[in-house]
A and B are shown apart, each in its own frame.
Chain A
Amino acid sequence: DAKTTQPTSMDCAEGRAANLPCNHSTISGNEYVYWYRQIHSQGPQYIIHGLKNNETNEMASLIITEDRKSSTLILPHATLRDTAVYYCIVREIRNAGNMLTFGGGTRLMVKP
């Protein structure tokens, strides 16, 4: 699976959009981009995933560049409960395996 690079930490004001970038310049054509987050003292939580089209669900939006070398997770109206470590993961969906390779992630602090 391709390696990802994320900023170590970011701050965001409550109510504003949080834009979390991720670089995955070595991504291959059959690899998807996944985002998970981990709130303190809890297990990681799935947020969203995509291949090449932009995706949106009730939690967030995922914007993937046309060359697929980077992506941005957008939390449209961040709340204090969105304070967490956000992990960008690139993963090939193969015939077997649900293994996730986590990097260091971005620690997002939402401030009042």
Chain B
Amino acid sequence: KAGVTQTPRYLIKTRGQQVTLSCSPISGHRSVSWYQQTPGQGLQFLFEYFSETQRNKGNFPGRFSGRQFSNSRSEMNVSTLELGDSALYLCASSLWEVNNEQFFGPGTRLTVL
């Protein structure tokens, strides 16, 4: 069974631009969560989707948004990029609404210049 895939793996943008990152969960998984990882702040929860509904949201500004499609694939969007948005963005999938084990993808490395 294929793991969680994230595209693109690397991305370079400039300040003020917007970006869309994609996550394909493991087949059959319906829950997708997003995390931001930076050297300064560590791993921080962004949001979680289950069956196309946002279930939880972390403490991030409204520039960060996401959605989930009927096939469970998810996208996150960051508008008006800032230098501080440079980070590794990780996606995790799990089977149900509440799970003990979550499966993380390799991440998308975003660099904002």
Contacts and interface: CB of A to CB of B under 8 A. Distances in A.
Contacts of A42: 104, 106
Given A42-B106, A43-B106, A44-B90, A98 B97 contact: yes
Interface string B79-113: 00000000000101010011111111111000000
Main secondary structure of the interface of B (DSSP, over half): strand
B55 A102 contact: no
B26 interface: no
Task: Give the size range of B's interface with the partner.
Answer: 20 to 34
B4 interface: yes
Nearest to B43: A102
Contacts of B98: 93-98
A93 B101 CA distance: 12
Interface of A: 32, 34, 38, 41-46, 49, 87, 93-105
